[in-house]
Amino acid sequence: MNKFLISNIARFIILALLQVLILSNINFLGYINPYLYVFFILLLPLNLTQYKTIFFSFLIGLTIDIFEDTGGIHAAASVLIAYLRPNFLRFSFGISYEHQTVKFHQTPFAQRFTYISLLVLIHHLMLFSLEIFDLSYIVLILKKTLFSSLFTILLILIVTGLFKQNKK
Amino acid sequence: MQQIINFLIKYKNTLLFLFLFLLSVIFTIQSHSYHKSKFISSANFFTGGIYSWVNDVDMYFNLREYNERLVDENKTLRENLAALTEVELDSVFTDTTSYNDPYQFITAKVIANRYSKRDNFLLVNKGKADSVATDYGVITSRGIVGIVDETSQNYARVISILNTNSAINVKLKKSDHFGTLTWNGKDPNRVQVEEIPRLAPVKKGDTIHTDGRSLIFPKGIPVGIIEDFHLKSNQNYYEIDVRLFNDMTNVGYVYLIKNNNQEEIKNLDSNE
């Protein structure tokens, strides 16, 4: 349990700093940024109690908000996917998730990919809707959601690939 | 009572979610209104400290350009000085009262700059300890940057002109027609000027600069040149696209401007 705690705290700090110091300044083609800190929420232990998941997600979202002066948009989006996470876990990993036997790194690629991309898409949609806060800009919201999601998903897949190799 | 407690226990996840979600949305709504986003701000010692620490390293990559800007500015100032000494030195009458200029300048370094969102802020490394306060204007040698929004002991947060909440008084250099500088959230190099009346002589390539009436910026701080303009449908006002002189994606050192007369004029205004 202690090992879990330490690795999650370390992941929190590393991902938050990486996000605000490097990734939020990429601005590829003017506005496309990956939001890799979502990975922290995806990787929270799958059997963690639901209210803790929600609370920790709020915490990392708020941290990013404070750094980036964005009000509460990251917190809102993070809380939303934390709340929806069990549904998507069940949807992507099926019955094995119910038996609490899933290890994130050992799941089949297709299932893992569905899980990652669905949550990232929802997170980004909420994020950009709140950031732009104006329904007349719906095209811009969808454009930003699509491109940033692609970037984030790609980055998450690369990172999972890297860490898998390290463990061998 | 028992039922209420049972209800709370049963739905504790949903309730926690709703509570935190609502809280975040309230923060978001506050951040969309000018001068109200007090809770969530990067101008605190923790985030400010981290940003300035990283910025110390980052700064070295831009030194060459900042030096070139300084040389440029020195050149302009020298030219102005030369013109002044040649033409006006004899006729300028200075007494002790005119030393008390209305505007004071404070230099600061930008330690965090954002321009890809719709509401952007900058963070500078001067705060209350350097007598910086809300509503100070922020400029560089090339043009305007924004207005100080919030201060902590050592840092200040600046509302960039690239923020949909910012509205600054500007005017045409050629004539006295004035309008409001806003941003539509698209291109960080282009801002919009609204409310310039149809009668005004607007031409592509004309210069826009600040209007002295805002109490924040002195008159004549350059903003940009007119790139495109058209009349708003059914209205008597122009909508003008302005290309900024400043490169907002690379702001190094800035000047914060204090208007010593601000209080006095505000008091006078509110006496009406």
Provide the CATH number for the domain around residue B70: 2.40.10.340
B179 shares its domain with B160: no
In angstroms, the CA B60 to CA B58 distance is 6
Asked if the model's pLDDT at residue A127 lies above 70, the reply is: yes
B135 shares its domain with B212: no
Give the pLDDT mean for B7-35: 85
Count of all residues that appear for chain B in the document: 272
Contacts of A21 in chain B (CB under 8 A): 50, 54
Neighbours of A37 (CB within 10 A): 27
Q: Which of B11, B20, B163 to mutate to test the interface with A (most CBs of A within 10 A)?
A: B20
Closest C-alpha among A25, A41, A46, A44 to residue A81: A41
The pLDDT assigned to A101 comes to 61
Which value, to the nearest 10 degrees, does the dihedral of the CA atoms of residues B183, B187, B192, B198 take? -150
B146 shares its domain with B49: yes
Asked if the model's pLDDT at residue B152 lies above 50, the reply is: yes
- Position B6 in a domain: no
The pLDDT assigned to B17 comes to 92
Lowest mean pLDDT among A84-98, A102-116, B80-94, B190-204: B80-94
Q: Which of A33, A60, A69, A144 to mutate to test the interface with B (most CBs of B within 10 A)?
A: A69
- Position B228 in a domain: yes
Q: How many domains does chain B have?
A: 2
B115 shares its domain with B135: yes
B160 shares its domain with B188: no
Asked if the model's pLDDT at residue A75 lies above 90, the reply is: yes
Asked if the model's pLDDT at residue B153 lies above 80, the reply is: yes
B156 shares its domain with B108: yes
Q: Looking at chain B from residue 48 to 77, which residues have their Cβ under 8 Å from any Cβ of chain A?
A: 50-51, 54
Asked if the model's pLDDT at residue A112 lies above 80, the reply is: yes
Closest C-alpha among B269, B268, B259 to residue B105: B259
Give the pLDDT mean for B157-180: 89
Q: B98-115: per-residue pLDDT in tens?
A: 455 678 888 898 998 888
Smallest CA–CA distance, residue A167 to chain B, in Å, is 31
B144 shares its domain with B156: yes
B76 shares its domain with B108: yes
Interface pTM (ipTM) of the complex?
Answer: 0.85
- Position B65 in a domain: yes
What confidence tier does B89 reach under pLDDT thresholds 50, 70, 90?
low
The pLDDT assigned to A168 comes to 42
Q: Please answer yes or no on whether A70 and B31 come within 8 Å at the CB atom.
A: yes
- Position B189 in a domain: yes
For B231, the domain range is 168-244
Contacts of A30 in chain B (CB under 8 A): 116, 187-188
Q: B230-250: per-residue pLDDT in tens?
A: 887 777 888 899 999 888 888
Contacts of B32 in chain A (CB under 8 A): 71, 133
Q: How many CA atoms lie within 13 A of B219 on its CB side?
A: 8
B176 shares its domain with B133: no
Q: Which of A70, A80, A140 to mutate to test the interface with B (most CBs of B within 10 A)?
A: A70
B56 shares its domain with B159: yes
B158 shares its domain with B116: yes
CATH classification of the domain holding B205: 2.40.10.350
Q: Please answer yes or no on whether A69 and B115 come within 8 Å at the CB atom.
A: no
- Position B268 in a domain: no
B75 shares its domain with B149: yes
Identify the closest residue of chain B to A58 by CA–CA distance: B20
- Position B27 in a domain: no
Give the pLDDT mean for B94-99: 50
The pLDDT assigned to B269 comes to 78
- Position B14 in a domain: no
Q: What percent of chain B has a predicted confidence (pLDDT) above 90?
A: 17
What confidence tier does B34 reach under pLDDT thresholds 50, 70, 90?
low
Closest C-alpha among B35, B184, B29, B33 to residue B118: B184
- Position B15 in a domain: no
Q: B44-67: per-residue pLDDT in tens?
A: 788 888 888 888 888 888 888 888
B105 touches B131 (CB < 8 A):
no
With 0-12 / 13-18 / 19 or more C-beta atoms within 10 angstroms meaning exposed / middle / buried, residue B67 is: exposed
